[in-house]
Structure 1
Amino acid sequence: MTRRGTFATSRRPRPSAVARSWVTPLLFLLPAFAVYAAFALYPLGRAAQFSLFEWRGFGASTFVGLQNYVDLAGDAAFRAAIGNALVLIVFYAVIPLVVGLVLAAILRRGQVRGMGFFRTVIFLPQVIALVVVAVAWRQIYSPVGPLNQVLEAVGLGGLTRGWLGDPGTALASVGFIGTWVEMGLVMLLMLSGMSRIPAELFEAARLDGAGPVKEFFAITLPAVRGEITVALVLTIIAALKTFDLVYMTTSGGPGNSTTVPSYEVYFRAFDLREVGSASAVAIVLTLLIFAINVGVTRIGERES
């Protein structure tokens, strides 16, 4: 009994060992957290601080509390920017997800040769700097650009226009660029998820008489729910924080038809010299991105 009790006592973790068990992981995380805090949390905190002041970026500032946020509630330009950002979610997230899913399923079923090269090609827009992408597409959308030339060549000259200068088409034109950029990322994620589906499941479904459409909804779609959630989170963030494309293609115009919250931050801070208002827009945008992506993640986890 004494010997057994001695062995049992010796197996109990010492207090110092218990302390080391949770202190050691924290020590490993500390360098990464320090970098994250210095380059993400601190600037965010400073922006929240600036949003409580009326300040032109230099000189004295005046504390106004939440007045900058109250002003945003009645600001037509800010409401237009939020509305445009929500429209861009359709082009950046919804359309690439639908097209990427369908194309990935077709490629997965067809077993296309040279899949590695094809994946590299479709992912290429993610590698190219968005400034370069914006300049290239601005030339394509030009009144004398390739798009209008093709329309005239096929007898659709009546559809030609300055795509980025027309208030009716400017936002959709910018959104289509986002679709082109994000579609490769979404398709690559879907192909990655589909590659992990056992081939036996498809063979069993075909023996039961299932066609391509039934296979897609019964096997493929449920198997890639995790990838769908990741794709939506990444593309929605890209849509809400897009700045490069808007700045380089339309600068928010014509009027405010393509202005977005991130461009509003730049415009208010550097053109209007309203740093407090710009910081308030940045904080609201951060909260909006956080709320939408938490919702998407929760729905994805529940469905899984």
Structure 2
Amino acid sequence: MSRGGRTARRPSGVRRVRGRRRGWLFVLPALAVYLTFAVLPALHTAYLSLFEWDGVTLGRWAGLDNYRRVATDPALRGSVVNALVLVVFFSFLPVVAGLVTTALLARHRRRGMAVWRLLFMLPQVVPLVAVGVTWRWLYGDDGLINETLGGIGLGGWARAWLGDFDWALVAVGLVGTWVLSGLCMMLFLSGVHKVDPQLYEAARLDGAGPVREFVSVTLPQLRGELAVALTVTTVAALAGFDIVYVTTGGGPGEETAVPGLLVYRLAFSDGKVGLASALGVVLSVLILAVVYVINRLARPERTEA
């Protein structure tokens, strides 16, 4: 019987091994592309961060000096702080706006809702360069925003928003809020459609109102979508480049400079490839740490048996 049992189990084990090999055959092309265009360049960037190199001549070993400059240089530190401030506008506000619009659209389903969804999702279709150019005109001295303020009697608030040292970063951040709110709304709407309708019926039988229903039923069911939205929007804030480059170029002064913009300047304008690589590594580590925390918090709690 034991011999028969071994011969009976052997084919299934062979099939499992063959299945794994076939699985790796499907994975290997994508893995090769990922290693070639993501992992190896990242490792090469970390290697370059240990040198003082202008991108042309022979580099000189610098060790951790570039990382010390990132930690001590006010402009480089300030760019990281600016990126963290943009997280509020690129991540927190779009998530809140997405939740509010989802609560309104999901509970009151009427004709024409598809048009509203299209309008909210439109910024995701428009290239970010076009978005930056459009908002630069809107924020201009004679742009629509200042003209509207003047028309309603608030001309004293009119200013060159993107050139104001106090308001430039906020103005850029609001552009990110406008761009990413629609994405968050679509993620949350797709999650709402997966919620069991019986949960809503039970909440209504218990006397829950719209707010209580959303907080007690909808929000807990959107844990996965919230994690995705926070991850995508936080990465967009920390690694942002397009909107800042087109609207302000990092100005006025360095008030809107972000790490992605300084990496570009240091590497291609100032000839400080090693320092740019060090700043890129620091930015990557910061993004990985934030994403790790978000995913840890988004995991469902395990209940012990």
Q: TM-score range by the shorter chain?
A: over 0.9
Q: Could you say which residue in structure 2 is the equivalent of 1:291? A: 289
CA RMSD of superposed structures (Å): 1.5
Q: 2:80 — aligned with what?
A: 82
Gaps of 5+ in 1: none
Matched positions, count? 301
1:131 matched residue in structure 2: 129
Q: Deviations over 1:167-197 (max 9, x none)?
A: 1000000000000000000001111111112
Question: Which amino acid in 2 is paired with 1:159?
Answer: W
TM-score normalised to the size of structure 1? 0.95
Answering whether residue 206 of structure 2 is matched by residue 204 of structure 1, we say no
Give the counterpart letter for 1:91 in structure 2: F
Deviations 1:24-50 (A, max 9, x none): 222211100111111111211121111
Tell me the equivalent position of 1:262.
260
Amino acid at match of 1:186: C
What CA distance in whole angstroms lies between the structure 1 residues aligned with 2:299 and 2:203?
26
Q: Does 1:10 align with 2:11?
A: no
Q: In the alignment, which of 175, 188, 191 is matched to residue 190 of structure 1?
A: 188
Instruction: Give CA-to-partner distance per residue, 1:91-128, whole Å, 9 cap, x none.
Output: 01101111110110111110132333432321111111
Moved more, 243-252 or 24-33: 24-33
Residue of 293, 298, 301 corresponding to 2:299: 301
SS in 2 for 1:142: coil
2:45 maps to which of 44, 47, 56: 47
- CA–CA distance in structure 2, aligned partners of residues 221 and 29 of structure 1: 35
Letter in 2 for 1:225: R
2:279 is matched with: 281
Work out the CA distance in 2 between the residues paired with 1:21 and 1:208. 50
Partner of 2:141: 143
Equivalent residue for 1:105, pick from 103, 106, 109: 103
AA at the equivalent of 1:11: A
In structure 1, distance between residues paired with 2:213 and 2:175: 32
Deviations 1:151-173 (A, max 9, x none): 00000000000000001000000
Counterpart secondary structure, 1:255: coil
1:112-148 Cα deviation digits (max 9, x unpaired): 3233343232111111110000000000000110000
Q: Which moved more, 1:275-284 or 1:4-13?
A: 4-13
Shift of residue 17, structure 1, vs aligned partner: 4.3
The answer to which of 138-147 and 55-64 deviates more is 55-64
- CA distance in 2 between counterparts of 1:303 and 1:124 reads 36
Letter in 2 for 1:205: A
CA deviation after TM superposition for structure 1 residue 303, in Å: 5.0
Comparing 250-259 with 197-206, greater Cα deviation is found at: 197-206
CA 189–303 in structure 1, closer or farther in 2 if over 3 Å, else same: farther
Equivalent residue number for residue 55 of structure 2? 57
- 1:12 is aligned with what amino acid? R
Which of 231, 237, 256 aligns to 2:229? It is 231
> Cα 1:232–1:303, aligned 2, differ >3 Å: closer, same or farther?
farther
TM-score (ref. length: structure 2): 0.95
Q: CA deviation at 1:13?
A: 2.4
Write the mapping of 1:169-188 to structure 2, written as runs, cut at 5 A. 169-188=167-186
TM-aligned CA distance change 1:80 to 1:303, over 3 Å: farther
Structure-2 separation of matches of 1:148 and 1:265: 33
Could you tell me how far 1:206 is from its partner in structure 2? 1.6
Of all paired residues, the percent bearing the same amino acid is 47
| Partner SS, residue 280 of structure 1 | helix
Distance 1:58 1:259 in 2: 26
- For the residue of structure 1 that corresponds to 2:299, the secondary structure is helix
CA deviation after TM superposition for structure 1 residue 73, in Å: 1.1
Distance 1:194 1:275 in 2: 47
Amino acid paired to 2:167: T
